[in-house]
Chain A
Amino acid sequence: MKALLWKIPLLALVLIGCYYFFMGQLSRQFVNDNYAKFTHQSPSLIIGLSRAHNGISPGILDSALQSIPHEGGFLNFAFEKSQSPYGKVYLEAIKKKVPKHTTRGIFILGVSPASFTAPVRFTTADEINKNDQQSLVGKISELNKNPNFEYIRKGYGGSLYRGLFPHNPQITTVFHDNGWEEFKRSSKNYLVSDEDVAKWTSQTMGGYKRVMKERPEVVSEFRLKNFNEIISFLKQHGQVFVVRMPIDPLVLGMETQWWKEFNTEMTLISAAKDVPYFDFSDATQYKTYDGSHLSSKYAKEFSVHLAEDIQRYYRTPLM
C-alpha cells in the first residue's frame, strides 16, 4: 500500500510536469489561428465575425493610420460566427482586451445580420448568454497571457507533439501575430480557381439556406442591446467605427431579403451613439473567395480603403 501511495503521486507529478513542459514548447511555435488573439491586450481592436477576421489587416491599418493621433498596435479580435456574436460574453472579453488607461484607441466593429441573430429555440437572454458561454471567447477567462496555457487546454484542439515538430497544415491561409487570418488564393502547391470560388459561393448560399431552414435564427434584442453597450464602453477608450464588410452581391441579396432594414438599423444605432457607420456591403471591387470572406489581395486593398475613410473622418468628423 505504501508503494502505491508514493507511486501514484509521483506519476501524477510527472504527468502534470510533462503536460506543462510541452504546452510551453507549443506556445513558442504556431498554435492555431486564434491563439494570437488571446496573448495580449491592445488599445485598438477589430471586432466582429469571420468577415472582419479575414477581411481587415491590423498591420495595414497600423501603417496607414500613423498620421492620426491614436494608440496603435491593432489586434484583430474577430472570430467566426459561433464564437463572437455580439452579446454579454463578447462585451466582457472586449473589456479585458482594452488596457484601462486607453483613451485614444480606434475600434472597428464589423457588423452583419449574423452578428445580431440567435437560434430561435433560445427565447430568453439567459439562454442565449448560456449558449455564448460555450464559445471560445466564453470558455477562456485568461485573455491576455503569454504563454496562454488555458487557451491551449480549452481552445487548441490538437496534439502537443506539434510543439516539437512545428508545421502549419493549412495550404492557403497565413495566420498573423496580430490576429489576422489571411487567405491567399494561391500558394506554393495550391491554386484556388475561379470555379472553386463559384462553387464555394454557391455552397455558402446553400449553407445559409440550410441553416435558416434547419436551425432558424432570429434577430435578438439581447444582441442589439449588448452591441450598444459595447459601443458605449469602447467610446470611453477612443473612437468607434461601425463597418459593414464587402460581400458577394448574391449573398448580399440574401441578407437584404432576410433583414431589409439592416442598414437603417445600423445607421440609427450609430447615429444614436454618435459613431460613424461605413457600409461597404455593395463595394463590388473587393472580391470574396466564398461569397462572404475577402481573399488576401482584396482584404489588403479594403484595409487601405478603410484606413483612408478613417483618416477622412478624423479630418472632417461630421461627414
Chain B
Amino acid sequence: MLFNSFDFLFFFPVAVVVFYLLKHRYRWIWLLFCSYFFYMYIEPMLLLLLWTSTVIDYYCGLKMEQINEIKIRRRFLYLSIVTNLGLLFFFKYFVFFTQNAVEVLDFFGIQMGMAANGGHSDYVKILLPIGISFYTFQTMSYSIDVYKREIPAERHLGKYALFVSFFPQLVAGPIERTKRLLPQFSKVVHFDVERIKKGIIIMAWGFFLKLIVADRLGVYVDDVFYKASDYKGLPLLLGSYFFAFQIYYDFSAYCAIAIGAAHILGYNLMQNFNRPIFLNSIADFWRKWHISLMKWFRDYLYIPLVRKLKFSKVSAMLVVFFFNGLWHGASWTFVVWGVLCGVLLIVDNKTTPMRRRFLNSIGLSHKMKVIKVLNGIMLFTMLVVILVFFRSPSIGQAGIYLNNMFSLSSSVLNVYHDKFELGLSLFLVVLVQTIHFYKGNNRVYELIWNRPRWLRWIFYFLFILVMVLFSVNRQNNFIYFQF
C-alpha cells in the first residue's frame, strides 16, 4: 500500500482507532495483522518471504542465546546471514548477475541456452519483493547483535514478527535497530492527544514534501533524463540538482510519514536525515543522509573490515560504498554511483589539509562563513553530478547526459514550458531548505506547535488549500520503494 494513496487514508485511521480501543496485550496482534495486510496489499505471495526471514532469524536468535559454544553459535549466525542475503541475492540480484555472466560468456564465444533464446527465459520474471533490502538488513542486524550478545534474543515470536514487519517502516525504512524498536512493543502505550497531534503534523509535513515538492521536481527531472540528448548545458545541470532535491524530499517525506504514523501509535522511529544539504564535507554528508543505512554499513561492514580483517580505511570505505551502490539496485549505474561516492569521500578527506593550507596562503580561513558556504556548494555540486549515474537507466545514458550537461551551448532552460511551475519549484526548494535550516528535519512540527489556537486553525485551512491546489496529481511511488 502506498502512503500517498486513497487506500492508506482509509486504512490508517482504522488501524489507529482499533489499536487504541484494544487492551495492551492484544495490540501487537492487531499491529501485526495491519502490517501484514499493508504488505499483502502489494502482492500477497511476498508475505512468504517475510515469514521465512522472520522465522529463521527468530529461531537462530534463540539458538545463539541458548548455546555457549562459539562455533555452533557462529553456525546459526551464518544460517541467518546466508538466508537473508540469499533471499536478497535471489530476488534482487540474480537476474543482474546471470545476465552479466551470460554476456561475459557470450563475449568469449560460449553460448548459454538462455542467451540463445534471446535471453528471455523465465528467470527474467523474478519479482522484486518490495522493501526486501530494508527488512533483511534490519533482521540481519538483530542476528548479529544477538550473536555478539549485545542484546537478548526475543522470545515472543509475534513481537519479533512485528519488529520485522512494522508497517510504517516496513517498505522503506528507517532500518531500525532491535535495541531501539523491539522493546517499545512491550511498553504500554497510552492515548495521548498531544502526541497524536504531533504525529499528524509530522505526517502532514511528509505529505507536503512528497505531493507538492518531490513530485513537482520529478516532472522536470523525468523530462530531462528521458530526453537527455535533446538538451544541452543548463537544463541538464538544473535537472540533476532537481533530482538531488527530489530524491531527498521524496525519501525524507516517506520517513516523515513513517515517523509520524509510528508516533501516533506511540512508537518512536529514528531520524533518517539531518539537514544533509548543509554539509561541511562529504563525510559530513554521509553522516546526515540515510542515517540508518549508513550506520548499518558502519557497524556491520566498515568496522569489521578495519578491525577484524585489517583493511585500510580507504579500501574499507571503497568496499562500503561499492555495497552502498549495489544495495540501491541491481545495475551497473548504482555500482558506479556508489564507487564514485566512495572515491569522492576519500579525495575530500585526503585533500582537506591541502585545501586549508591553500586558503591560508591567500589570507583566507576555512572557518569563514563564506568559505564554508562555498565549500558546501562545491561538494554538493560534485555529489549532484555523480547522482546522474543513480538516475540514468544505463551507463551509456549517463554518459550522454554528462556529456551534454558540460556542453557549452545551452538549450531552453525551462523544460516545463511554464514559468510559473519553474518559479514554484525553485521557491519550494528554497522554502524547504530554509525550514530545514532553522528547524532541522526533526523539529518541523514546531512551526505550528504551541501557537495560538486561531493561528493554528488558519494554518490548518491554509495547509489544506495548498495541498489541494498544488499537489501534483501523479500518484507516484516513493523512489525508495524500488530498493
Contacts and interface: CB of A to CB of B under 8 A. Distances in A.
21 contacts: A1-B191, A11-B460, A11-B464, A14-B464, A15-B468, A18-B468, A19-B468, A22-B469, A121-B124, A152-B473, A156-B473, A158-B473, A159-B470, A159-B473, A160-B468, A160-B470, A165-B420, A169-B417, A169-B421, A203-B229, A203-B230
Contacts of A15: 464, 467-468
Nearest to B461: A14
Interface of B: 13, 118, 120, 124-125, 191, 193, 196-197, 200, 216, 229-230, 416-418, 420-421, 460-461, 464-465, 467-475
B118 to A, nearest CB: 7
Contacts of B474: 157
Nearest to B122: A123
Given A14-B461, A159-B471, A170-B417, 8 more contacts: A1-B191, A4-B196, A15-B468, A18-B465, A22-B469, A156-B473, A157-B472, A160-B471
A145 B197 CA distance: 39
Contacts of B469: 22, 159-161, 164
B248 to A, nearest CB: 21
B472 A216 contact: no
B120 A121 contact: yes
A305 interface: no
B482 to A, nearest CB: 16
Contacts of B230: 203
A171 interface: yes
A1 B193 contact: yes
B205 to A, nearest CB: 15
Interface of A: 1, 3-4, 8, 11, 14-15, 18-19, 22, 120-121, 152-154, 156-161, 164-165, 167, 169-171, 203, 216
Contact of A22 (B125, B216, B461, B468): B468
A124 to B, nearest CB: 10
Nearest to A153: B473
A169 B418 contact: yes
A156 B475 CA distance: 10
A267 B32 CA distance: 59
A164 B197 CA distance: 32
Contacts of B467: 15
Contacts of B196: 4
Nearest to A22: B468
A94 to B, nearest CB: 25
A154 B125 CA distance: 28
A89 B4 CA distance: 26
Nearest to B124: A121
A15 B200 CA distance: 15
Contacts of B417: 169-171
A239 B17 CA distance: 58
B197 A158 contact: no
A175 to B, nearest CB: 15
A17 B102 CA distance: 57
B197 A4 contact: yes
Contact of B125 (A18, A121, A152, A157): A121
Q: Top 10 closest A-B pairs, CB basis? A: A161-B469, A169-B418, A18-B468, A169-B417, A15-B464, A156-B473, A120-B120, A157-B474, A19-B468, A159-B470
A169 B472 CA distance: 16
A232 B421 CA distance: 46
B449 to A, nearest CB: 15
Contact of A159 (B191, B229, B472, B475): B472
Contacts of A18: 464-465, 468
Contacts of B421: 169
Contacts of B460: 11
Contacts of B471: 159-160
B404 to A, nearest CB: 14
